[in-house]
Amino acid sequence: MALTQHQITRAATLVAGPASLRETAALLRAEFAGLPTTVVDAMDMRDESPALRIGERAIYLAESDGHCWTVTTDPARADAIVLAQG
């Protein structure tokens, strides 16, 4: 699955909004059914590069080989969105 520019722009708009990060994840899940979206502690992502940073919040893209997950900055390879704050 690849993320479109529209999906990335929409995700950035929602992440920049006033909703909590968990509420934002729920909104993304509802809007992009089938696109896994999760929230993790920023410490868990400390060695990774976000695809986007909006203030204190970060959007990471993840890809899967069917078994393991890897963080990617390439939307064409992304299978999921990971959100973190801090």
- Total number of domains constituting the chain: 1
- Model confidence band, residue 66 (pLDDT cutoffs 50, 70, 90): confident
Q: How far is residue 70's CA from residue 30's CA, in Å, rounded to a whole number?
A: 23
Render pLDDT for 38-55 as a digit per residue (tens, 0 to 9). Answer: 999 999 999 999 999 999
* Res 1 pLDDT > 80: no
User: Residue 48, Cα to own-chain centre: how many angstroms?
Assistant: 13
Render pLDDT for 10-23 as a digit per residue (tens, 0 to 9). Answer: 999 999 999 999 99
Mean pLDDT, residues 61-78 taken together: 93
Look up the domain containing 56 and give its range: 5-85
DSSP assignment string, the chain? ----HHHHHHHHHHHHSSS-HHHHHHHHHHHTTT--EEE--GGGGTTS--SEEETTEEEEEEEESSS-EEEES-GGG--EEEEEE-
* Res 2 pLDDT > 90: no
The amino acid present at 53, given as its one-letter code, is R
pLDDT of residue 17: 94
Percent of the chain at pLDDT exceeding 70:
99
